[in-house]
A and B are shown apart, each in its own frame.
Chain A
Amino acid sequence: MPGKLKAKIVAGRHLPVMDRASDLTDAFVEVKFGNTTFKTDVCPKSLNPQWNSEWFKFEVDDEDLQDEPLQITVLDHDTYSANDAIGKVYIDIDPLLYSEAASVISGWFPIYDTIHGIRGEINVIVKVELFNDLNRFRQSSCGVKFFCTTCIPQCYRATLVHGFVEELVVNEDPEYQWIDRIRTPRASNEARQRLISLMSGELQRKIGLKVLEMGGNAVVGYLQCFDLEGESGLVVRAIGTACTLDKLSSGSAPNTNTHMHPNTAPASNACNSPSKDGKEPVFVEDLPSSSGPPTPFRALPTSSSSPPPFSPSKPCSRQSSSSDTDLSLTPKTGMGSGGSAGKEAGPLRTLLRQQTQTALEQREFPFFTLTSFPPGFLLHVGGVVSARSVKLLDRIHNPDEPETRDAWWEEIRQEIKSHARALGCHAVVGYSESTSICEEVCILSASGTAAILNPRYMREGCLDIGCTDHRFEDPSPPSCGFCHIPYDELNMPFPAQLTYCYHCRRQKVPDVLFTTIDLPSEAAVAGKGCLIQARLCRLKKKAQGETNATAISNLLPFMEYELHTQLMNKLKLRSMNALFGLHIQISVGENMLLGLASATGVYLTALPAPGGIQIAGKTPGDLSNEHISSIQKRINDTIAVNKELYQINPPELAEEGVGSPIPEPRHRSRLFRSHSESSDELSELDLSHGKKDAFVLEIDDTDAVEDIHSLLIDAPPPTGFYSCNTENMPGISNWTSGVQMFTSVRVLRLSNANLTNQGLNKIFTDLCENLLKSFYFKLRSMIPCCLCHLNFTVAVPEEELIQVTVTAVAMTYDKEQTQEKTAEKPVNKGSLEAEEQLQFPLELCADSSSSNIQTASKISGVAESTNISPRAASVDYGSFADRCSTWLELLRLKAHTIRRGSVKTISSLERCSPLQEGRSRSLRSSRSFGGSSVTVVKMTPLSFLPGIRIIKYLGIINMFFIRETTSLREEGGVSGFLHSFIAEVFAMVRAHVAALGGNAVVSYSMKECVFMENPNKNQAQCLINVSGDAVICISETDQESSASTANTGQTGGGGTDGAT
């Protein structure tokens, strides 16, 4: 008997009128947990009843505590007929099961009915007394903390990252059981809600057990999904990253892993002090605490001669302190020892990989659902890996055996793992899984980013992240290290064009980098990022069973190819060279497939400048064609405009001036050049730097013309707006307090059946673009502002319907500060680069030794396949016209390094000048919400709130609601119905958070929004699943006072003890 659950029903308010005669209600409440039910007295003739009940006590197993929700039903007493239900409240008591989280749930909850929506509110107090259970064979996993957040939560420190945990549970869907024919829609909906609540509880408990087995105490990046498979059942599955987390004392909390000041953490660390005086970071001291065997690296850093300490003349700017640390901590190990450095780097890396692999290989799947990491965790990024598989659902119809579903996912994960291997990586980060179901066909998808991780975080022993960051053996500076290729350049998994890192000049980097993770906070970027989307529709014939599945899986590779081409083109069009947060969704409908790829484009200064896009006809003669040249001009103009818009002025481009940054059509000369190594070419190459690698688009048919036109349709956001789909916006960090989370749903009906692929593409693109335009317009009062974490979900709910659901947050920022910061960055870099000139000769030698670069090009490590053709079909996406020999590349690098050193100061001065009229908005956006009797709960899909510090995580919010109506017209049609439903879901989330004593939800997401309608019958139904982390947060400036507000918010229910 390990737990006692206590519940008290205090009062109700705003109840609906249930008795038409008296215009009043005789309400009472049933409290149910497991199989035990209690009732309150009837409170006659009141719409605001005061029950003030006794404490209802349930003595239960902790297993049940984890699985079951507390179910509260409000009814209207009727003497003669059956009592009418007013509505229900399900309370997930999981947050009460671990000591650090909430101690009491107390507050007003909306009373929800699946047919009528919210009908009044009820005030409830819930407590749990847990007894110690020493049973080793227990089935519960109380105490394991769950976080939706995909980074190490603020106020915690990861001492150990154990790795991937997954689980799935299967059940029959009550909606499809025979009994559903005779019961009311309400009963059916409630059965479904309850079942899903139970299943999520069970799932969480099982995952918790796995975490305990691994020795962890928390799951971070917990991602739970539902597959509504219809006849064949209901699957609830979840993945996450098991970690051992340590709570930080409140004093040190602000230093850890906040998005604002990611670099301050190491600076505050005492053990970093040796590095301050310019010496090598001595990690030898660190090693004895490690339980692992002595590694060969140990000797390396001390024996290699270290480069001269950094010049003491650091730029005197506000940013300098953090940047200093960055620079001085940059280990120079591998490269220090003269001409052999390049050679040494190779074996070093192999060794490193071997060692990390052993750490990771014990794990079945070295996957991490995290998207951002503590500094130093991520060493190299290989590229995106993804796998899709088409399955037929009706073949497996045995709900008691989840093994089939497990096997499917196992297959896909194996594939992902092997793709990562092919990229020379031992781990996959930013990993996620999804499905799309239409009738009996199901597409399972998984994607992630192949990466090499710092093995320290995986080993038992010295795992204190705070002490080890920046000190790993890897010779790459944090600002560019992750860009360096993890795979062997002599044996590349796919053709790619490699260059030396533009930042440290010591390692090879690809020309373009695609990832599913967030931009590492220490990465060096130029300008701002922006949302880049590729959208695609493909018609398919209606078919059944296997034919259908085959047709779909045949289409998939083409769709992925086209999506990637679009992404690539759009990236070039914005003059950027890397994508973060890439998420590709392929959604299946009866007669079409929809593909939507979203990512945040950014210019990484470590990567080469992207070439422009060059339009070419079928034959060289076509170049003179007026049409082509007009398109070329438009493209060139767009690139120029975008550069301006996103303030992409990488150091390399500074001296080139604003003049034509776009390649002139130099097709032939370039071809020639690739064969020549004459010195005449050199001067030309210098001038054309940044214009190389022009991406050639061939116009060979009308489709191609259409494609190019569609490229140019994407309107840039209006002045004052930026957008991204990642956690942090590249180039903006000075957020002010304005935050507006929103959800928007749009469904489009395609009127005629004679649509072509092209026509559909246009419609789909317009749909997405118009949505964005709507957001900009609606949020115009927040300018200057950035739409962050724009998460688009597409679905084909019915034939001829396209549904797009978007959840995002708009955040205001301080325009003036941005200016300052961007101005400072180049200054810092300038000094870095000036420093690097000294090392240039070394690089020269190192380079010449490896003159065997593969010349074919490839965007990123995208390996994909479908189940029916299980071979990993890596496709060569696009081709680059320009192929330079290493030798030329080398000379060019040299020229640039030297030039950059001198130009830097000028360019930075220019940018320092107050160019824009922007005025500070910090005052205007800091609204005070005081005075209301309802706690204000902020919600954001991000893991943080600007200017606000999270002091406590209260537990995971995971809620599932069904709403149905049989009076659609009366409720304002489909839009009115869904509008109020979404508002109700928000309200219920806020109420639960407030009852836990919290005042914000972070990492909020709407996982599912399934909408079905039958306007002829005046009916509609919608299912929504949302999740997030409930937190208590306080303003960074004004900690005490807001903490007290957070507390008073909780006591709304009538003075309970145990308020946090």
Chain B
Amino acid sequence: MSVELDVFVGNTTIMDEEVYQLWLDGYTVNDAVKVRMEGGVMDECEASKDVLLSDTMDQYRTFQMCERLLHSPAKLANQLLFQIPPHRQIMLIERYYAFDDTFVREVLGKKLSKGTKKDLDDISAKTGVTLKSCRRQFDNFKRVFKVVEELKGPLVENIRQHFLLSDKLARDYAAIVFFANNRFETGKRKLQYLSFQDFAFCAGQLISNWTVGAVGEYNMVEDMDVDLDKEFLQELKELKILITDKDLLDQHKSLVCTALRGKTKVFPEMETSFKNLSRGLINIAAKLTNTKDVRDFFIDLVEKFIEPCRSDRWTAADMKLYLTHYTNSAHILDTFKHQVVWDRYMGVVKSCIFKMYHD
């Protein structure tokens, strides 16, 4: 005796958020039933294991049928097959496009290609996220990437409108798209301590300050928020004068040191490493015209600046103090003419380093 067929269809589609999460997390039906049993849902309605199994299967089927619609969320609102109240639709979409930070950390900055997709089982093994879930998340990244690639206008707004996501999630996706597009290196051992949210913040900074769209005059250009502003990158070369001109370098150092003296315990270390650090930051800027060096932007920041400071035991406050004065002092240098570029560069670098300077 066996149940050959078992379906339950409601006029308003019934969806249990807990089961949806299990489905998204890639649990098999049987595993999901186990989790639900442990969760104590059985006591709620004198349910038995069979009831739970039947319910889980039904819901899994429903989700599978909905999945097609979730791929283009705008369809969910005007499809006729499932009658889903709007607030449930929002929940379905938001959860479907949500991702695990541990997973995204692994693919961040990688090319969203078939090759990467093949590595998903390794990533799954490493992160503990089920392969099914990895695939969904990866496909989501790829789908969003593909869609916004062809759209004009601001990246975050495009993602939000096209995929009906919350602002926060849309920003995260923008970061993922931005990283994938510029292929920033994030996988090196030295960068392992950084979380996805650290990178997402940095991506936000880069998008709003360094891209074509950031300038404002170019409205509605393709990829305006994805590609870095080439002109700006060229101009960055001019900053080299701060380290190549001996006078300027010394002047800059003395200005910073005057401002910092007595305000921090690590002042002697700051004074000794000033030239090194300054060279590090300016060299990063000067090299950004090179695509390869753009990719290494974050690793460079860590190697050239964060690591030396850390070995000198700077606190976050020290870091803040130093960078503030380092940036501001350049304005007082009368022979330094590139104030605008300097601000545009240092603004981003400063906030990125603040975000990245932790254990």
A contact residues vs B (CB 8 Å cutoff): 13-14, 108, 110, 118, 121, 715, 718, 740-751, 763, 770, 773-780, 801, 803, 927, 929-934, 936-939, 972, 974-976, 978-980, 982-984, 986-988, 990-991, 1011
B14, A740: Cβ atoms under 8 Å? yes
Q: List the A residue with the shortest CB-CB distance to B62.
A: A979
B77, A934: Cβ atoms under 8 Å? yes
Q: Which residues from B are CB-within-8-Å of A744?
A: 7-9
B3, A121: Cβ atoms under 8 Å? no
B57, A975: Cβ atoms under 8 Å? yes
Task: A975 to B60: give the CA distance in the assembly, Å.
Answer: 11
Q: Which residues from A are CB-within-8-Å of B45?
A: 718, 773, 776-777, 780
* Cross-chain contact of B4 among A748, A770, A774, A987 (Cβ < 8 A): A748
- Could you name 17 residue pairs across A and B whose Cβ atoms are closer than 8 Å? A742-B14, A744-B8, A748-B2, A770-B48, A770-B54, A773-B46, A776-B45, A930-B86, A931-B86, A932-B89, A934-B79, A939-B11, A975-B61, A979-B58, A982-B9, A983-B9, A987-B82
Number of B residues whose C-beta is below 8 Å from A?
42
Task: A779 to B51: give the CA distance in the assembly, Å.
Answer: 12
Q: Which 6 residue pairs of A and B lie closest in terms of their CB atoms, listed nearest first?
A: A747-B5, A741-B11, A742-B10, A982-B9, A744-B8, A747-B4
Digitize B39-62: 1 where CB-to-A-CB distance is under 8 Å, 0 elsewhere: 000001111101110110110011
Digitize B65-102: 1 where CB-to-A-CB distance is under 8 Å, 0 elsewhere: 10000000001011111110111010000000000000
Task: A548 to B80: give the CA distance in the assembly, Å.
Answer: 46
Chain A contact residues: helix, strand, loop or mixed: mixed
> Could you tell me the distance in whole angstroms from the C-beta of A607 to the nearest C-beta in chain B?
32
The verdict on B290 contacting chain A, using a C-beta distance below 8 Å, is: no
The verdict on B1 contacting chain A, using a C-beta distance below 8 Å, is: yes
Q: Which residues from B are CB-within-8-Å of A939?
A: 11
B8, A774: Cβ atoms under 8 Å? yes
A938, B11: Cβ atoms under 8 Å? yes
B61, A748: Cβ atoms under 8 Å? no
* Cross-chain contact of A14 among B5, B47, B79 (Cβ < 8 A): B79
> Could you tell me the distance in whole angstroms from the C-beta of A751 to the nearest C-beta in chain B?
5
Task: A990 to B55: give the CA distance in the assembly, Å.
Answer: 25
Task: A744 to B58: give the CA distance in the assembly, Å.
Answer: 10
Task: A740 to B14: give the CA distance in the assembly, Å.
Answer: 9
* Cross-chain contact of A751 among B1, B14, B44, B86 (Cβ < 8 A): B1
Q: Which residues from B are CB-within-8-Å of A745?
A: 5-7
Total CB contacts across the A-B interface at under 8 A: 146
B contact residues vs A (CB 8 Å cutoff): 1-14, 44-48, 50-52, 54-55, 57-58, 61-62, 64-65, 75, 77-83, 85-87, 89
B1, A934: Cβ atoms under 8 Å? no
Task: A153 to B181: give the CA distance in the assembly, Å.
Answer: 63
Q: Say whether, besides A740-B14, A748-B3, A933 and B9 are in contact (CB < 8 Å).
A: no
Q: Which residues from A are CB-within-8-Å of B86?
A: 929-932
Task: A742 to B12: give the CA distance in the assembly, Å.
Answer: 8
B65, A746: Cβ atoms under 8 Å? no
Q: Which residues from A are CB-within-8-Å of B58?
A: 778, 979
Q: Say whether, besides A741-B10, A776-B45, A749 and B81 are in contact (CB < 8 Å).
A: no
Q: Which residues from A are CB-within-8-Å of B55?
A: 774, 777-778
A121, B61: Cβ atoms under 8 Å? no
B8, A778: Cβ atoms under 8 Å? yes
A740, B11: Cβ atoms under 8 Å? yes
A770, B51: Cβ atoms under 8 Å? yes
Q: Which residues from B are CB-within-8-Å of A749?
A: 1-4
Q: List the A residue with the shortest CB-CB distance to B53.
A: A774
Q: Which residues from A are CB-within-8-Å of B46?
A: 715, 718, 773, 776
> Could you tell me the distance in whole angstroms from the C-beta of A109 to the nearest C-beta in chain B?
9
Q: Which residues from B are CB-within-8-Å of A773?
A: 45-48, 51
Other A-B contacts than A777-B47, A974-B5, A988-B80, 12 sampled, CB-CB below 8 A, are A742-B10, A750-B1, A763-B1, A777-B45, A929-B85, A932-B86, A972-B61, A976-B61, A978-B5, A979-B7, A979-B62, A986-B9
Q: Say whether, besides A747-B4, A974-B4, A740 and B52 are in contact (CB < 8 Å).
A: no
Q: Which residues from A are CB-within-8-Å of B65?
A: 979-980, 983
Q: List the A residue with the shortest CB-CB distance to B88.
A: A927
Q: Which residues from B are CB-within-8-Å of A13?
A: 78
Q: List the B residue with the shortest CB-CB distance to A984.
A: B81
Of the listed residues B4, B45, B52, B79, the one surrounded by the most CB atoms of chain A closer than 10 A to its CB is B4
A991, B80: Cβ atoms under 8 Å? yes
Q: Which residues from A are CB-within-8-Å of B62?
A: 979
> Could you tell me the distance in whole angstroms from the C-beta of B110 to the nearest C-beta in chain A?
27
Task: A901 to B355: give the CA distance in the assembly, Å.
Answer: 82
Task: A14 to B86: give the CA distance in the assembly, Å.
Answer: 20
Q: Which residues from B are CB-within-8-Å of A937?
A: 11, 83
A936, B83: Cβ atoms under 8 Å? yes
Task: A774 to B82: give the CA distance in the assembly, Å.
Answer: 21
> Could you tell me the distance in whole angstroms from the C-beta of B44 to the nearest C-beta in chain A?
6
Of the listed residues B10, B13, B52, B55, the one surrounded by the most CB atoms of chain A closer than 10 A to its CB is B10
B61, A979: Cβ atoms under 8 Å? yes
Q: List the B residue with the shortest CB-CB distance to A752.
A: B1
Task: A934 to B13: give the CA distance in the assembly, Å.
Answer: 14
B11, A777: Cβ atoms under 8 Å? no
Task: A912 to B307: give the CA distance in the assembly, Å.
Answer: 75
> Could you tell me the distance in whole angstroms from the C-beta of B74 to the nearest C-beta in chain A?
10
Q: Which residues from A are CB-within-8-Å of B75?
A: 14
A108, B8: Cβ atoms under 8 Å? no
Q: Which residues from A are CB-within-8-Å of B87?
A: 927
* Cross-chain contact of A932 among B50, B51, B77 (Cβ < 8 A): B77
Q: List the A residue with the shortest CB-CB distance to B89.
A: A932
Q: Say whether, besides A745-B5, A774-B8, A974-B5, A110 and B80 are in contact (CB < 8 Å).
A: yes
Of the listed residues A121, A777, A927, A930, the one surrounded by the most CB atoms of chain B closer than 10 A to its CB is A777
Q: Which residues from B are CB-within-8-Å of A740?
A: 10-12, 14
Q: Which residues from B are CB-within-8-Å of A14?
A: 75, 79
Task: A957 to B250: give the CA distance in the assembly, Å.
Answer: 88
B9, A746: Cβ atoms under 8 Å? no
A742, B9: Cβ atoms under 8 Å? yes
Q: Say whether, besides A751-B1, A774-B51, A975-B7, A987 and B81 are in contact (CB < 8 Å).
A: yes
> Could you tell me the distance in whole angstroms from the C-beta of B299 to the nearest C-beta in chain A?
40
Task: A774 to B48: give the CA distance in the assembly, Å.
Answer: 9
Q: List the A residue with the shortest CB-CB distance to B72.
A: A14
> Could you tell me the distance in whole angstroms from the C-beta of A723 to the nearest C-beta in chain B?
13
Q: Which residues from A are CB-within-8-Å of B54?
A: 770, 774
> Could you tell me the distance in whole angstroms from the C-beta of A744 to the nearest C-beta in chain B?
4
Q: Which residues from B are CB-within-8-Å of A930?
A: 86
B80, A108: Cβ atoms under 8 Å? yes
Of the listed residues A742, A774, A990, the one surrounded by the most CB atoms of chain B closer than 10 A to its CB is A774
Q: Which residues from B are CB-within-8-Å of A110?
A: 80-81
Task: A393 to B243: give the CA distance in the assembly, Å.
Answer: 102
> Could you tell me the distance in whole angstroms from the C-beta of A355 to the nearest C-beta in chain B?
47
Q: Which residues from B are CB-within-8-Å of A934?
A: 77-80, 83
A1011, B5: Cβ atoms under 8 Å? yes
Q: Which residues from B are CB-within-8-Å of A763?
A: 1
Q: Which residues from A are CB-within-8-Å of B50?
A: 770
> Could you tell me the distance in whole angstroms from the C-beta of A948 to the nearest C-beta in chain B?
15
Task: A925 to B76: give the CA distance in the assembly, Å.
Answer: 23
Task: A108 to B77: give the CA distance in the assembly, Å.
Answer: 14
B8, A742: Cβ atoms under 8 Å? yes
Of the listed residues B6, B65, B77, B86, the one surrounded by the most CB atoms of chain A closer than 10 A to its CB is B6
> Could you tell me the distance in whole angstroms from the C-beta of B331 to the nearest C-beta in chain A?
51
Of the listed residues A110, A780, A991, the one surrounded by the most CB atoms of chain B closer than 10 A to its CB is A780
Task: A972 to B62: give the CA distance in the assembly, Å.
Answer: 11
Task: A751 to B79: give the CA distance in the assembly, Å.
Answer: 41
A986, B7: Cβ atoms under 8 Å? no
> Could you tell me the distance in whole angstroms from the C-beta of B164 to the nearest C-beta in chain A?
12
* Cross-chain contact of B6 among A746, A932, A982 (Cβ < 8 A): A746
> Could you tell me the distance in whole angstroms from the C-beta of A714 to the nearest C-beta in chain B?
13
Of the listed residues A715, A745, A934, A979, the one surrounded by the most CB atoms of chain B closer than 10 A to its CB is A979
> Could you tell me the distance in whole angstroms from the C-beta of A67 to the nearest C-beta in chain B?
27
Q: Which residues from B are CB-within-8-Å of A750?
A: 1
A778, B2: Cβ atoms under 8 Å? no
